[in-house]
Amino acid sequence: MSNEQSSTDLTVSGAGTSPAAFQDPGMPPHQERMADKDPAAAKRAERQTVVLFAVSVLGTIGMLVAYFLFPSGDTVESMRTSNLLLGLGLFLSMFGIGAAAVHWAKTLMSDHEQAEARHPQKSDPETREAALAALEAGAKDSGIGRRGLLKGAVVSAVALAPLTFAVPLVGQVGGDWNVSNFRHTLWERGRRLVRDPSGDPIRAADVTIGSAYHVIPDGLREGEHASHWIEEKAKAVVLMVRMDPRDLTEAEDRRDWSYEGIVAYSKICTHVGCPVALYERQTHHLLCPCHQSTFDMADGAKVVFGPAKRPLPQLPITVDDEGYLVAQSDFTEPIGPSYWERLK
Amino acid sequence: MKAIAARRHHRLAPVALLLLALLVTGGLYAALAPSAASASAPSEDDIAAGRALFQANCATCHGPSAEGREGAPSLIGVGAAAVDFQVSTGRMPMQMDGVQAQAKPPQFDAEETSQLAAYVASLGAGPAIPSAEQVDPALGDAANGGALFRTNCAMCHGAIGKGGALSEGKYAPNLGPSTPTQIYEAMQTGPQSMPVFNDANLTPEEKRDIIAFLGEQDAGSPGGTDLGAIGPVGEGIWVWVVGMGLLVACAVWIGAKSS
Amino acid sequence: MSTRATTGQRAASGTADYLDQRTGIGTAVKGFARKIFPDHWSFLLGEIALYSFIVLILTGVFLTMFFVPSMTLVVYEGPFAAMNGVEMSEAFASTLDLSFEVTGGLLMRQIHHWAALLFMAAIVTHMMRVFFTGAFRKPREINWVVGFVLMILGLAAGFTGYSLPDDVLSGNGLRITDGVVKSIPVVGSYMSYFIFGGEFPGEHIIPRLFTMHILLIPGLILALIGLHLFLVVLHKHTHFPGPGRTQRNVVGFPLFPVYVAKAGGFFFIVFGVLALMAGTMTINPVWNYGPYDPSPVAAGAQPDWYMLFLEGGLRLMPGATEFVIAGYTLSLNVLIPAVVIPGLLFTALAAYPFIEAFATGDKREHHLLDRPRNAPVRTATGVAILTAFFILLLAGANDLIATHFAMSLNDITYIFRVLFFVAPVVAFWATKRLCLGLQRKDRELVLHGHETGRIVRFANGEYIEVHKPLDEYERWIRVQHEARRPLEILPAHDERGVRRKGYHRDALRARVSRFFYEDRVEPVTPAELAAAHSHGEHDALEGHPSSGGVPAEIASGPSVDARDR
């Protein structure tokens, strides 16, 4: 068998013999179904179909009953019951009709396969000629070919007209289009760090080693930015942790940005902007749950793994006279994901 | 009084009475029963028994006076709450070295656990085991707890505490099997990778709100089975398996010749 | 009897007459009523998508009655205890209301979301069917492109709808979108402002997404579904090869009544299955995720499955690929997985019919489908693309893989980074070999027939297994396809030594064609079959010469037992 097969693996193209191909045997003879041969079977199929339709009717009635007797209610339990009963009723109501129709078609409607002829998609040569002639006659009639100025006028008018729609839209769809807003957050010299969302200020002494605080700027929802506090919050959220100062590696120019082992970094990932918040206390690593960029909070929030390139921006902090933590300034670079003109 | 007398004959009255009786009994029990940990200050006997247990089961790693060694932290000043959490969840004594200690059936019963806790607490002041009232979900505000949970906990433990992955094989566990006391202690002491949420960060009331929020999850989902509550990936798997599975089966039935 | 019949009949014929006099509908009914549609389960995959879409519209209308697309903040008061007193947008609050206070609202919402997932699953499966059977070939290339655009619109519809409840999960999805958009060179920041009407998140995004989701995108989908189906009717449906099925006919059952019952019934089945899923399985429990706020995020932050490949790409890409060029930031770590790779993947998919047509140089119409094994390189290409897609999908769920299989997130990421490049190549090679093997199996069957398990011993001691030849219908399925061979091109210089115009294009075409068709197994010809029989094969037991050139052969394993029968 094996030597026989190897010779059949690849046929050399154009071997010369090229015998005529097999002939299509045509449609196989029709196989009679049970319901075709046996009137009792046909009757049975009909009864089955009726039962399936009846299931649908019962499902519809059941759903209506459930609607009136089991409203959504006030507890999780009653909500779930209502949803379950309505769903089952709807299921039976719909599925019954579907199954009945299909069963009817399969068992009782003709299953003689029929052939319908196909025709090439393209129109016949005369039609093509006629179509071409019609277009040519039209073009000639309009004189578009001869009147060059007219052609130019049509094109310019039609090309310019959409501006009436586009300019007002584009002018305002992006608000004030002031993309330099990306650069600034609410943080400024002396603004207190407060807990998110309660707004309670944080005493440095309360931040014990190993703590992680989710922080927003004080007065987030007050003053001139009260109407757009949510955009400000989206930029200003900070994660603050305290570790043993001996664990901390700090750049020369950032030595006074932390306070006795307390460091604060922007919570917005430098990759695509998810809140990075999975702080692993023992390794001081901060993991982003969206794309798993990992930042080392003990070492300038440098990237140790994942798709982010840049460290998280650090918020310089200190304490005020009452011992509460305050910012020294805004972030010194735009927070969040990279964008083209970020460094400009 | 008349109204009550009239309603005594209501057919649901026995049920209501039974419920009332159960509630009163349960409430009395909860109020009067000696809480395993916080009932009273531990006696000298407890501390002595705890020391003996410690020497036999913990000292190998943590050192004979709990001063800590390479890879095992000092337990001086961690408090009773940390011991109760670690031992009652079975994380300690640790079964094997790994990226993190795994929860398993506890090795010590409640009494031994409290003795161990008493011994460690005697070594240095630390967070105590919370009282029953501090962890009673009925006293908490679940909605506020939900808001706090989303800000402080959901990033690791998932939206309703079903757990999630951390880096390098570590993970934040499913909070479903945890008792309110264990949840409180975990926040208080920050086991392993978890940060510490002291009482300035999350006040005791806020911790109880979080416990109430997690308690709400026991009622399940209003929409039916929660599919493990793992989010859109689970839903994606189910739409392929159940949805496409059933419908392709139906399509095959429709396309097949009837016999 | 006659009076009863006439009442109904008179009403029907009256209506028909009324319509026909005004619209000439008779012509259309005559043409369509008995139009033939071929029957095959895989032809119903597109119908699942169509019916999901109808269910989406029905349930979507229900939901719009109660949903408020507004980002104005309100305080929730309602039956869901864990949200009471929480500040949230009206969009989120109305989602809770329509889920918990409108009886049946939760069911409708869950049907809507399951139907959206099913819509995309059915589109992808339908597209796979069309791809693997070569149904996209002339004259259906345009319809392939229409279907491709429908898939993109389906993604857009899903994405815009997913974000509407304004919950934490979808809000972070929007924030990722914002980050991806910002990474686009030169115009990124402005595109972000364009989408959000200012800085993220602003107060415009939910109303804007709502308009997209309920007006623009469904309108386009509806129009393109119309075009898609019109072209199906115009071209007449393809059919699988088989006896009596040719390029010039379509074999099946008439539209009325068989297809009306089957296809109509299938709509109800799809609706029923969706209702069953929605009644029993929670989907998108926004009450767990909470109202959007820029600070929180939950573990398990993933999009719906059809967007998961983008998420996976973003997770796999190493961060080192962000560069600063002359002071401008180029974030290839975001651009490549979120823009470039999907762009290439989708372009390749949309262009595939044209690429294959170029390789074959085939200008004929094709109405008979290919069995996937008979187009090994196409099948292998499809499987390779799917494999890459699947790896990205898994990578998008790497945190769940980590927790459920107790693995390290970081290790999984490293593994997938390698697999993304290796697995598609392996899948291509394996699939192509598998297809060629199946074709050889077909040849084997045609030449030698079915094994019967009956072992016969001859007087000279030789054992053979009796084979049963295929009947002509069985055989036809395995021999009907044409053997495609690589194109041969004219030489670079004509006989006078002049360089031929268009040689380079031809040479490229020949290279592509060789890639497609160099390795092939050709169908059995009648001559080969005759030769196989005359060799004294095992299927012709009676004529077997006692000392043929065929080496003696012992059937293996179970066949030996069969000798005892």
pLDDT tens digits for A292-321? 999 999 999 999 999 999 999 999 999 999
Chain A: touching chains (3 or more CB pairs < 8 Å): B, C
- Distance, CA of C307 to CA of B111 (rounded, Å): 52
Is pLDDT above 80 for A4?
Answer: no
Architecture of domain A184-327: 3-layer Sandwich (2.102)
Best of A3, A340, A344 to disrupt the C interface (most C CBs within 10 Å) is A340
A16-30, A107-121, A190-204, C259-273: range with lowest mean pLDDT = A16-30
Mean pLDDT of B164-186: 93
- Distance, CA of A13 to CA of C521 (rounded, Å): 11
Tokens for C502, please give them: 């268009």
pLDDT at residue C3, rounded to an integer: 54
Q: Delimit the domains of chain A by residue range.
A: 34-107, 184-327
- Distance, CA of A330 to CA of A327 (rounded, Å): 7
Is pLDDT above 60 for C136?
Answer: yes
pLDDT at residue B29, rounded to an integer: 58
Best of A12, A90, A112, A344 to disrupt the C interface (most C CBs within 10 Å) is A90
**% of residues, chain C, pLDDT over 90:** 77
Any chain A CB within 8 A of the CB of B225? no
Each residue's pLDDT tens digit, A21-33? 888 999 999 888 9
Closest CA to B75 of B95, B54, B94, B103: B54
Mean pLDDT of C250-264: 93
Question: Could you give the angle at the alpha carbon of A275 between the alpha carbons of A269 and A278, nearest 5°?
Answer: 100
Of residues C179 and B24, the one with the higher pLDDT is C179
Is pLDDT above 70 for B27?
Answer: no
pLDDT at residue A9, rounded to an integer: 37
Any chain B CB within 8 A of the CB of A196? yes
Q: Which among C34, C103, C198 has the least Cβ separation from residue A72?
A: C103
Each residue's pLDDT tens digit, C292-346? 999 999 998 899 999 999 999 999 999 999 999 999 999 999 999 999 999 998 9
Of residues B15 and A10, the one with the higher pLDDT is B15
Interface size between B and C, measured as CB pairs under 8 A: 205
Confidence tier at C533 by pLDDT (50, 70, 90): confident
List CB contacts (< 8 A) between A196 and chain B.
151
| pLDDT averaged over every residue in chain C | 90
- Distance, CA of A275 to CA of A288 (rounded, Å): 7
* DSSP annotation string for C306-356: GGHHHHHHHHHS-GGGEEEETTEEEEHHHHIIIIIHHHHHHHHHHHHHHHH
B69-73, C144-148, C389-393, C433-437: range with lowest mean pLDDT = B69-73
pLDDT at residue B3, rounded to an integer: 55
C123-132, C176-185, C531-540: range with lowest mean pLDDT = C531-540
List CB contacts (< 8 A) between A84 and chain B.
224
Of residues B13 and A25, the one with the higher pLDDT is A25
Confidence tier at C493 by pLDDT (50, 70, 90): confident
Percent helix, strand, coil in chain A, to 5, is 45, 15, 40
B-proximal residues of A, 106-135, CB under 8 Å: 106-107, 111
A190-204, B6-20, B38-52, C29-43: range with lowest mean pLDDT = B6-20
Phi-psi region of C327 (alpha: psi -120 to 50; beta: other; left: phi over 0): left
Is C182 within 8 Å of A337 when comparing Cβ atoms?
Answer: yes
Strand partners, A195: A215
Is pLDDT above 60 for C257?
Answer: yes
Confidence tier at C91 by pLDDT (50, 70, 90): very high
Is B254 within 8 Å of C266 when comparing Cβ atoms?
Answer: yes
Any chain B CB within 8 A of the CB of C405? no
Closest CA to C562 of C453, C451, C452: C453
Best of A108, A208, A239, A269 to disrupt the B interface (most B CBs within 10 Å) is A208
Please check whether residue A44 is in contact with residue A122, taking contact to mean a CB–CB distance below 8 angstroms.
no
Is B155 within 8 Å of C299 when comparing Cβ atoms?
Answer: yes
Is pLDDT above 60 for B30?
Answer: no
Q: What residue type is assigned to position A310 of the chain?
A: R
Is pLDDT above 50 for A128?
Answer: yes
Tokens for C517, please give them: 């068709």
Q: Which among C39, C84, C402 has the least Cβ separation from residue B255?
A: C39
Distance (Å) from the C-alpha of residue A175 to the closest C-alpha of chain B? 30
Mean pLDDT of B7-31: 64
Please check whether residue A266 is in contact with residue A237, taking contact to mean a CB–CB distance below 8 angstroms.
yes
A258-272, B38-52, C19-33, C373-387: range with lowest mean pLDDT = B38-52
Q: Which among B166, B222, B233 has the least Cβ separation from residue C397?
A: B233
pLDDT at residue A19, rounded to an integer: 54
Any chain B CB within 8 A of the CB of C121? yes
* End-to-end Cα distance, chain C: 64
List CB contacts (< 8 A) between C398 and chain B.
165
Chain B: touching chains (3 or more CB pairs < 8 Å): A, C
Mean pLDDT of C428-456: 94
Tokens for B82, please give them: 């940390």
Distance (Å) from the C-alpha of residue B133 to the closest C-alpha of chain C? 20
* DSSP annotation string for C222-290: HHHHHHHHHHHHHH---B--BTTB-TTEEEEEEIIIIIHHHHHHHHHHHHHHHHHHHHHB----HHHH-
Q: Which among B147, B166, B198 has the least Cβ separation from residue A280?
A: B166
Distance (Å) from the C-alpha of residue A279 to the closest C-alpha of chain B? 7
Distance (Å) from the C-alpha of residue C26 to the closest C-alpha of chain B? 30
Give alpha helix (H) positions in B94-162.
Answer: 110-123, 142-152, 154-157
- Distance, CA of B60 to CA of B72 (rounded, Å): 10
Is pLDDT above 70 for B34?
Answer: no
- Distance, CA of C374 to CA of C478 (rounded, Å): 10
Closest CA to C466 of C381, C405, C553, C385: C553
List CB contacts (< 8 A) between B166 and chain A.
278, 280, 287
Distance (Å) from the C-alpha of residue C477 to the closest C-alpha of chain A? 9
Residues in chain A, total: 344
Tokens for C415, please give them: 């593994």
Is C282 within 8 Å of B225 when comparing Cβ atoms?
Answer: yes
Q: Which domains does chain B have, with CATH numbers?
A: 44-123 (1.10.760.10), 137-219 (1.10.760.10)
Each residue's pLDDT tens digit, A64-97? 999 999 999 999 999 999 999 999 999 999 999 9
A239-248, B158-167, C47-56, C487-496: range with lowest mean pLDDT = C487-496
Is pLDDT above 80 for B122?
Answer: yes
Closest CA to B156 of B187, B184, B117, B179: B187
Q: Which among C83, C282, C305 has the least Cβ separation from residue B224?
A: C282
Is C262 within 8 Å of A105 when comparing Cβ atoms?
Answer: yes
List CB contacts (< 8 A) between C527 and chain A.
17, 19
pLDDT at residue A208, rounded to an integer: 93
Percent helix, strand, coil in chain B, to 5, is 55, 5, 40
pLDDT at residue A8, rounded to an integer: 36
**% of residues, chain A, pLDDT over 70:** 94
Is B236 within 8 Å of C284 when comparing Cβ atoms?
Answer: no
Any chain A CB within 8 A of the CB of B155? yes
Name the residue of chain A whose CA is nearest to B246's CA.
Answer: A95
A-proximal residues of C, 266-305, CB under 8 Å: 266-273, 275-276, 278-280, 293-301
Is C403 within 8 Å of B244 when comparing Cβ atoms?
Answer: no
Longest dimension (CA), chain C: 96
Each residue's pLDDT tens digit, B180-227? 999 999 999 999 899 999 999 999 999 999 999 999 999 999 999 999
List CB contacts (< 8 A) between B232 and chain C.
169, 284, 302-305, 308
Name the residue of chain C whose CA is nearest to A215's CA.
Answer: C295
Is pLDDT above 60 for B111?
Answer: yes
Distance (Å) from the C-alpha of residue C476 to the closest C-alpha of chain A? 7
